[in-house]
A = this chain, B = another copy of it.
Amino acid sequence: MKYQSSDLVPHKSAPLFTPANILNEDVCLPAAVIKKTALENNIQWMQRYADARGVSLAPHGKTSMTPWIFQQQQAAGAWAIGVGSAWQASVAMASGIRRVLMVNQLVGKANMQLISQLKSAYPAVEYFCCVDSLDNARALSAFFAARNQTLDILLELGVPGGRCGCRTTAQALTLAEEIARLPALRLRGLELYEGVLHGDNPQPKVEALLRDAAALACELERYVDGEFILTGAGSVWYDVVCNVWLEAPKPANCRLVIRPGCYITHDEGIYLEAQNAILARDKTACDLGGDLASALELVAMVQSVPESDRAIVNFGKRDSAFDAGLPQPIAHYRAGKSRELAEKSIETTGIMDQHAMLKLAPGTDVKVGDILVFSTSHPCLTFDKWKALLLVDDSYNVLETLETGF
């Protein structure tokens, strides 16, 4: 049952004046904005990193689910876009993406049907999904064989206590043998996500998993015609993935693919920390020049200052991630003019569905109607709160409305 969407405002941060500037209150606040300069910087930086290492880049698109961003990533040289579901694959293909790496299992009749339809609708697009069980392999084989279609698959290697993926290389090899006997499935390589490894010092565990994967790839090589795809790496260990896999023995015709996602907007929270660790340990990242920059901001307005040390702003859990620390203010404007924001003078201490609570240090001058700009962490869960984000220049002029595909 559809409703007649208002002509007045197509989405919740729609600009209501033209041309629109965020600081001039031309846009319904709160709004999620993407700073174009930082976004372009990040797209270029990560592509240059991959190029410098001689690996392919398949940015994980689930972070932004923003077709315009997918297009920029592809135009800059991305080999593929990563996705997490059949629906996300459909958004990527509808956006003109030519290779879609679904780094997840494809399960259920409707999800398989959607992929089958996409393969018909976009015959030139290469699509991959992951398999880690014979049950799933058999279901996929039966479904696609009945439609005379072939499905390109990657075996997934996992870790005990982790997420999906075969738990041992022996299991993976057995599964590969069985897959080789099933119609409609074409094994193309090996996938893992080392980001599930945690703990005090996960790097040795990450490296061991990567070495195991390279050795497994050598054994799987005989089941793969043509190029062998070996892929891993979220935004935290992409340097280590390159280091280990570039050095390790691997299939002769092997394409290494890294899949960072959150680099696209970066943040000033968990991903800033991760990137700082990479810069501290990785020569290529250091020598590359420049760095990732925070590109996603939440712009909100003070709606109440009910106590001298307390202000309420008009964003909440409906607008922002809150699972990796609360959004914190990084800039303060009054009547379009920037004001000094002393460190810790304004701190977000609570969040409800439609409000956030700020603690004001003594003497901090905050008024109803002031605009505050917030950084958020992690980016994925801010993106998915918005039907559209606003692309802005460094002066917060709105350049484009970027629709999302959640």
A7 to chain B, nearest CB (A): 8
Contact indicator A3/B357 (Cβ below 8 Å): no
**CB < 8 Å neighbour of A133 from B3, B26, B107, B305:** B305
Most buried by B among A13, A135, A306, A354: A306
Interface membership of A284, Cβ < 8 A: no
Cβ-defined partner of A3 (8 Å) among B25, B160, B405? B405
Other-chain residue from B5, B29, B88, B111 in contact with A29 (beta carbon distance below 8 A)? B111
Q: A6-B94, A357-B163 are in contact. Are A387 and B402 (CB under 8 A)?
A: no
A 72-101 binary contact with B (CB < 8 Å = 1; else 0): 000000000000111110110111000000
| Chain B contacts for A26, CB-based, 8 A | 109-110
A104 and B67 contact, CB distance less than 8 A: no
Q: Assess whether A165 is interfacial by the CB under 8 Å rule.
A: yes
B406–A1 CB distance below 8 A: no
> Given that A9-B87, A62-B353 are contacting pairs, would A107 and B369 also be in contact in the complex, using a CB cutoff of 8 Å?
yes
Contact A8 B118 (CB under 8 A): yes
A68–B3 CB distance below 8 A: yes
- Decide if A204 is an interface residue (CB 8 Å cutoff): no
State which of B314, B323, B385 has its C-beta within 8 Å of the C-beta of A104: B314
Of chain B, the residue at the smallest CB distance from A403 is B2
**How many whole Å from A279's CB to the nearest CB in chain B?**
25
Contact status A28-B110, CB under 8 Å: yes
Task: Report the Cα distance A140→B301, complex, angstroms.
Answer: 15
| Chain B CB within 8 A of A318 CB | yes
Q: Which residues of B contact A381 (CB under 8 A)?
A: 317-318, 353
Whether a CB of chain B sits under 8 angstroms from the CB of A400 is yes
B residues within 8 A CB of A105? 303-304, 314, 368
B107 near A368 with CB under 8 A, answer yes
Task: Find out whether the CB atom of A163 lies under 8 angstroms from the CB atom of B25.
Answer: no
Q: Residue-by-residue, is A22-37 near B (CB-CB < 8 Å gives 1, otherwise 0)? A: 0011111100000000
Tell me how far the C-beta of A353 lies from the nearest C-beta in chain B, rounded to whole angstroms. Answer: 5
CA distance A276 to B317 in the complex (A): 26
Q: B6 near A301 (CB under 8 angstroms)?
A: no
Q: Mark A1-21, 1 if CB is under 8 A from B, else 0.
A: 111111011011111110000
> Which B residues are in CB contact (< 8 Å) with A87?
9, 11-14, 28
Chain B residues with CB under 8 Å of A355's CB are 104, 163-164
Do B406 and A3 touch across chains, with their CB atoms under 8 A apart?
A: no
What is the CA–CA distance of A236 and B84 in the complex, to the nearest angstrom?
37
- The answer to the question of A166 belonging to the interface, with a C-beta cut-off of 8 Å to chain B, is yes
Q: Within 8 Å of chain B (Cβ to Cβ): is A380?
A: yes
Q: Are A164 and B303 in contact (CB under 8 A)?
A: yes
Of A3, A26, A162, A357, chain B has the most CB atoms within 10 Å of the CB of A3
Q: Give the docked Cα–Cα distance between A323 and B294 (Å).
A: 26
Q: Does A117 contact B (CB under 8 A)?
A: yes
Q: How far is the CB of A153 from chain B (nearest CB, A)?
A: 14
Q: Can you list 13 A-B pairs, Cβ within 8 angstroms, ordered by A?
A: A3-B68, A8-B121, A12-B88, A13-B87, A16-B109, A25-B109, A28-B86, A84-B318, A104-B354, A108-B301, A132-B304, A133-B306, A158-B306
